[in-house]
Amino acid sequence: MKLMRIGAPGQERPAILHEDGTRRDLSSVVEDITGAALTAAGLWRIGEVDPLSLPVLDPEARVGPCIGRVGKIMCIGLNYADHAAEAGMDLPEEPILFMKATSAICGPNDPLIIPKGSTATDWEVELGVVIGKTARYVDEAEAMEHVAGYCLVNDVSERDFQQKRSGQWVKGKSADSFGPLGPWMVTRDEIADPQALPMWLEVDGHRYQDGSTATMVFGVAHLVSYLSQFMTLEPGDVIFTGTPPGVGMGQKPDPVYLRPGQTLRLGIEGLGEQCQTTVPWDAV
């Protein structure tokens, strides 16, 4: 199943994307696409409904973030071997963890806001893993049972805030609009192998990132298990699993960063595409 949220910010309605391309209103089935709907019981309830029996939503309506009321966003740094090489850094012996504020979440096609004082806003196409079952001290062999599905995410980053302003990476990761989710969440059963998904990102038509989840250092099962050793993962939590090479920071001979008026397009096979236009902080 492909689950979506459709409508203006704060007024999104839960929806399922039918195979004919129509967005069908799930409001009569679930309140929203949040933790409760993402459990095994919640997904079973949605799966029992004939989408053709549901009302069709306006095809021109805004697509919201595919998950509502996210509890936490956990992110993994330097999780692609080729990206670590691009950054000139050694591969980590264990996953590098940081968090992104949930206030950064936005729709997949919402404006990307360049923060006040930013000179180094960057892009990162990533696979998002959505938790569907509480995970606490989970073995890797059982980890995938705790995954509800997957979505496309853009881990937008301000590199100067991240690297030159002292302390944790989170301050360079959490500005408004720095966490587009969607357009939809695909349930786990529809992705045969999350470690074999082509992914790409373009800025103004130029392809900067063209990679695959196959080059992850730590795969999805390992990440779910690893995170669960340090914190409880709950239904509706999202893991940003890292990015392949081609970020602006890694361009040679000089880094390339975003400026207002540019257009980003990005996608992962089976998980749809996003399109964002950059705007200055004082234009919204």
**DSSP code of residue 205:** T
**What is the Cα–Cα distance from 76 to 133, expressed in whole angstroms?**
20
pLDDT cut 70: percent of the chain above it: 100
Q: Check: CB of residue 15 under 8 Å from CB of residue 26.
A: yes
Q: Is the pLDDT of residue 237 over 90?
A: yes
Domain regions of the chain by residue span: 2-53, 73-283
Q: Is the pLDDT of residue 85 over 90?
A: no
pLDDT value of position 278: 98
Considering the chain, what is the average pLDDT of its residues?
96
Q: How far is CA 270 from CA 4, 97, 127, 219, 280, in A?
A: 14, 26, 11, 18, 32
Residue the block writes with tokens 């019981």: 41
Q: Looking at per-residue confidence, does 237 or 87 come out higher?
A: 237
Backbone angles phi, psi at 167, to 5 degrees: 85, -150
pLDDT value of position 111: 98
Residue 175 burial class via C-beta count within 10 angstroms: exposed 0-12, middle 13-18, buried 19 and up: buried
Please report which confidence band the pLDDT of residue 224 belongs to, taking 50, 70 and 90 as the band edges: very high
Instruction: Give domain 73-283's CATH architecture.
Output: Alpha-Beta Complex (3.90)
